[in-house]
Amino acid sequence: MEMDEEMVMLRNGRLRVLRDGELMDMQEDMTMTDGTRVTMDGTIVMPDGTTRTMMEGEALTMDGEIIGIEEIEGLEDDEDTEFVEEMEDLEEMEDLEDEEAEDENMDDEDIEYIEEMEDLENKDDIQ
């Protein structure tokens, strides 16, 4: 599948249109050449009236064929990489917040015990 073909895809939770090699947000319902329609909420309405929901990573070609976006040659992963990095950053921030919350719940006795254990570890490392 080539980048110059027109299609609709669900990528990173957003409906996107690939047109003339450019990827843009879908602005309105689209009808494919075979009569299949894609609505703004990701519902695919087949020419016979049956419906299904577009899944993450799927693309619908103008002739109504559903393919995986990994089959599209030349589709850059910059957006995917950026999305994954954002999610990893969020996870790291949540982990830090959890650690801070744990620290706030510790009393002086707990902190003293942890420091003693760290001192013992350091002594073992030196020997």
**Structural domain for 55, as ranges:** 7-75
User: Within a domain: residue 12?
Assistant: yes
Residues 67 and 83 in one domain: no
- Last residue in a domain, options 75, 95, 118: 75
For 53, the token pair is: 């929901």
Structure tokens of 1? 């599948």
Q: How many independent structural domains does the chain possess? A: 2
Q: Where are the beta strands (DSSP E) in the chain?
A: 7-11, 14-19, 22-25, 30-31, 37-38, 43-45, 51-53, 58-61, 66-68
Give the CA-trace dihedral at 78, 79, 80, 84, to 10 degrees: 100
68 and 84 both lie in a single domain = no
Query: Which tens digit of pLDDT belongs to each residue from 14-59?
Result: 999 998 888 899 999 999 999 999 999 999 999 999 999 999 999 9
Are 59 and 7 contacting, i.e. CB atoms less than 8 angstroms apart? yes
Q: How large a percentage of the chain has pLDDT more than 90?
A: 39
Q: Are residues 52 and 26 in the same domain?
A: yes
